[in-house]
Structure 1
């Protein structure tokens, strides 16, 4: 018998017991009701008639008064009703005697004899017979009441016995049926719990042929298939794992994997060699603990702690390491790893990958390129300066008269020569920055002095487009630690770019404020109302020799200004970035640390 049939039969039996108890109780109540009604109809009605007959006799008691014809008629009517309600043994004889005595009384009234004692004798006989009739019904009433009480007691016992049987039967079903339904689920739950711990040997014993037996057989087959699948795929997983481990271990780049709890869970031999740490001192340890013991890992952790938004805008750092008696250069890359959690239906952070890419060969090539640029720039600067001086002599007319057309040609040549001199100067600055030979003169500096000097220098360049310069600097700004010359050059470069791309009769805005970072810095911003910069170009403009498309057709720049400006600010411990939207202008900002 299956479990569904058992539960159905249990509920059906409980329903039948409920209907049986209800039907028997209703039958008992109806039987008691019929007994009570019979008592009321047969005996109590006769007693009430006897009482009314006695009151009628009381009115006929006195002979001296005129005969109460209405009382006599009432007595006869009541006696006739009683004759129609004879239900008890001996009651009929009493009624007949009443009719006989009533006939004698009528004969007495029809005669001329008026003796009071005879009248009282007739009234006494009628009263005595009426009392007998009432007594017969009263005794019957008492007897039937006792029988009804016995019947009620008997029926109550039967109902109580039947109710007890029904309650016990229901309790039996309540205790047995749920247990039968839940016991199998307990076994299934225990087997599933073992399966979650990769124990597929705890199968469910099949003891019945009901639904649970079917589920148990199916689950046991599932356990067998899971065991087979685990056995068959474990070798594949190990093979793939060994293949991936071989690939990671044979990388010529250092690779570290840090999980979401900042615990190191993987490090390839290249990373261990660079960190000069054995695997047992690195793996499964907290990254913060390792950073306290290893300088290189402390530097890697600093880049790991950099917010992802800043990592995307900053250039990847390059570390210089001593390796085999030579300098080696490694570029640090940090990539966050995310995974989609299907249970929670959301993407979760699961760790970070740190890689150390050997860029020593590229660095050597870059140094060779920088040396070449520096050499060429120095070689070009001298003849360009001589050409510039010669052009100045020609324009002044000291070597001969020059006509107007020749003056225009000389002006054009001088303008192009000045542009070459500027380009050569920027190339020299780039080479100095790359070689680290640039000298910075740090000193406590007021932002007001830098801004005022830049504003005074750029004032003449505002006039051709009729631009206005709006400067708003708070008085409470502290001094910064900066190179005044280099910082002023950066601000002038940003203002020159703002002038170049601002519409006529527009405005440039210079603002300064303390940053909310810890430690705080002073942030200087230059905002223009130009065409703006598309998002895909906002980071590229800080790369060397990069120029974004210009609708105005300007092609005078070398693409080095912003790159040099960022190097100047970064070397002073600050940052340089841009915020812009197409059609709303651009805001170039840089920050400088406070002086101590």
Structure 2
């Protein structure tokens, strides 16, 4: 028997329904077009000729009293001569033309009006008879089309109905049997088997189910020795792991203590198995710290004659919402710490070494811009501008990397002194004035008067304000406005920069101060993604708090709060 999978069955079923729809549609279109063509022929040829005859008769009756009707008669006669479609119509039209030519020569003495009437009526009769015949033929086609379409719809509907009734059982029946089998397995009836005759995915699934049920049945009836062997293998795996692992039951008694944990805590598993963990922790400071620590706190432990770093993870063992104990894992992250330190030192070294040649490049571009060195053409000026812009960008990136390396190594050097808030704001605005003009953005200041001094590192705080302003300018619309505000709220001085640009989507607002994070969808990718992270570290190192408010589509506001100098 040919093996047919579910996908093939569904494909054939849907293809069948598609063919039914196509057949019905093609037949319907054919008969509709046929009827439409017959109807259009009736109106197009014969009905128009009848109208021409009517106009000629009307004009002929008025010619004796109005010779201008001759032109109307001749116009309709010419149209009729160009619309001859039926047998006998040509002869009748030729007779009208012959008589009309005599009429034009002597309208007053023409005496064959009656013959002309007869000839015109002959044309009219020929076309009306044709209309009757064509209408009868169209009615015949309509009746035939109705019978054919009714018969076809009836047959296709019966076939489709049979298909719709029978085909779902191909899917539903095996699913029902599999569901019943799974329920039996869930109730630990491992003797349950499913027998399907289908040679498709359901048949394969039934065979797999039966294999699984057999394995479960075998496991259910396995002896205690096999269970102990499995337990021994699991314990061997746990002991081979490099992470320290401690197992506790629901009474907080020690169940297992692997080799790595023995080295860390200086304890032997055989001496503490079954003991209450809190009693052992009285004599062991590290175990006491681990038992009291409920979070993933980083631990520094002196191990193998060097400082090592571990992260604690606590896993609750639950069954049916009942806690059966927990497993404590101490993961050794010392290699990652060492790599991180090496990375930080590398970045600091490279950034420092890059600054010297970058300063040299910057100075060289400034010298080349000096007209005393010679005039440059337009292309040279553009190339020099590109060199200067990229050198400045690299200087900014290296500066950010150096700042970040200082932060990561805890070597931030602060020069705290009383500073006037308005002075810092003006310095920051002057630094970005050229960039604002380049982007067509206007800067506005809103500084409260008589502000007290604040204890800050002026250089680093101005750096933060410049970073805020740079971002606001870049993401403002052309001819937009960026506002710098300073205001006192009780014992706090608030600084903030507001723009009316695109804003930040809600799901990204909480991440803007993360290292290397850049909001998805922004076209600006020249930075490192460190500016806001460094700003946060600088402000928090001075005891302040950094914040952001943003409504997507309306703009963003970045700011920070600093305590007022208590002596002012």
Q: Which has the larger radius of gyration?
A: 1
- Give TM-score scaled by structure 1 length: 0.43
- Give TM-score scaled by structure 2 length: 0.45
